[in-house]
Amino acid sequence: MQAFTYLSPTEVVFGKDTQCRTADYVSKYGGHRVLVVYGGSSVQKSGLLEQVCRLLDAAGLPYQTFGGAKPNPTLNHAQDGIRAAIEFQADFILAVGGGSAIDTAKAIAIGTANPAVDIWEYWSGQSVPAAALPVGVILTISAAGSETSNSAVLTNLATGSKRGLSSDLNRPKFAIMNPELTYTLPVYQVACGVTDIMMHTLDRYFNPLDNELTDAIAEALLRTVIASGRVAIGDTHDYDAMSELMWAGSLSHNGLTGLGGQPDFAVHQLGHELSAMFDTAHGASLATVWGSWARYVCKTRTARFTRYAKNVWGLENADETALALAGIRATEEYFRSIGMPTSFGENNDVGVQPDEVVLDLAYRCSFQRTRTIGSFQRLDEKDIAQIYKNANH
């Protein structure tokens, strides 16, 4: 094992009807006045939001609701939430939903605790936050892993920029995880979630270092998600499949599957620019570029791709290069089988783009030529542009 530091302090409350214990956990972690953050109408239609409000009422905990979190959460909406939290004098932020609601809640928690600072300074890397209100989560979508992670992503609509902030201040105090709360999800959202879970592990697995136990954990998680994803796409009410996906989503992004490595996350950076420019679903943006990225970097460390092909997909071939490429094809075929795009042309939100758009994406992804991305292979603007071009069909 390589050296690492591991912190995963979120208390996970997993199983059927666990949302009934919401008020107990809010109180346990110091909440007295609660801003309840959610996304669209799904938690209202399902009755979950009303149930949560009743539980807070019964516990004598004043609350205010704040809805409207978008699939790609925006800076403007988070700033509105900060103003609402300050006006209400909230001391606890409760997210009810998936990654968008949770990331919005994290931004509100940091902004409310640091009212004199524009939170975009934190997300753009100009400043480092010093405090945050506590955040709790009731998870309804297995995907982003934000319920146990230290990261949160926001899109600045004014600049067209999508940025992430990694800070241990972002880690929720608790995550209530009832797989039955995911039963109402459309199949497309389930597929996007499966892809995001896989990518959170793949972006850690494909790195320059070997760590046998960490690698084996990552491979087991990938095999589980692939198998459970197939079942869940066919039946979103299959408790076993949905529960495996829910737990895998948390483990994929709390650091466990990358301990001792040097996480790559180039695919996430590539996908972020697609989401920022075209508002494409996060999971779909990742599937769109993964195969192109994988073929571009494969020769850097072919042995890692051959191990992936053998241990995740069960493939065999005496020729290492052929085996590595077979593993990449198997991944793309799986994405297609669950309704995910594997190129610009397959992504209805993106479509085949003229060269100038592709070059602009690369320019943006390189932060106007001020950074490279990736650790498996360092990628500059020219590399990024070629990966986008290879996916643009």
Domain range summary for the chain, segments of one domain joined by +: 11-182, 187-391
The span from the CA of 266 to the CA of 259, in Å, is: 18
67: left (phi over 0), alpha (psi -120 to 50) or beta: beta
Helix (H) or strand (E) holding 97: strand 92-97
Give the pLDDT confidence score for residue 205 in this predicted structure.
98
Question: Tens digits of per-residue pLDDT, 237-282?
Answer: 999 999 999 999 999 999 999 999 999 999 999 999 999 999 999 9
Burial class (CB in 10 A: 0-12, 13-18, 19+), 96: buried
pLDDT in tens, 110-144: 999 999 999 999 999 999 999 999 999 999 999 99
What pLDDT score does 171 carry? 97
Check: CB of residue 289 under 8 Å from CB of residue 362.
Answer: no
pTM: 0.94
d(CA 192, CA 188): 6
**Residues constituting the chain:** 393
pLDDT at 40: 81
Find the largest Cα–Cα distance for the chain.
Answer: 66
Any idea which architecture 11-182 has in CATH? 3-Layer(aba) Sandwich (3.40)
* CA dist list (Å): 57 to 35, 53, 373: 13, 6, 47
Per-residue pLDDT, 71: 86
Which pLDDT value is given to residue 70?
87
In this prediction, residue 230 carries a pLDDT of: 98
Cα-based angle 227, 230, 236 (whole degrees, multiple of 5)? 120
Superfamily of domain 187-391: Dehydroquinate synthase-like - alpha domain (1.20.1090.10)
Q: Which residues in the chain come in under a pLDDT of 50?
A: none
- Positive or negative: CA dihedral 85, 93, 37, 102: positive
Cα separation, 309 vs 295, in Å, equals 13
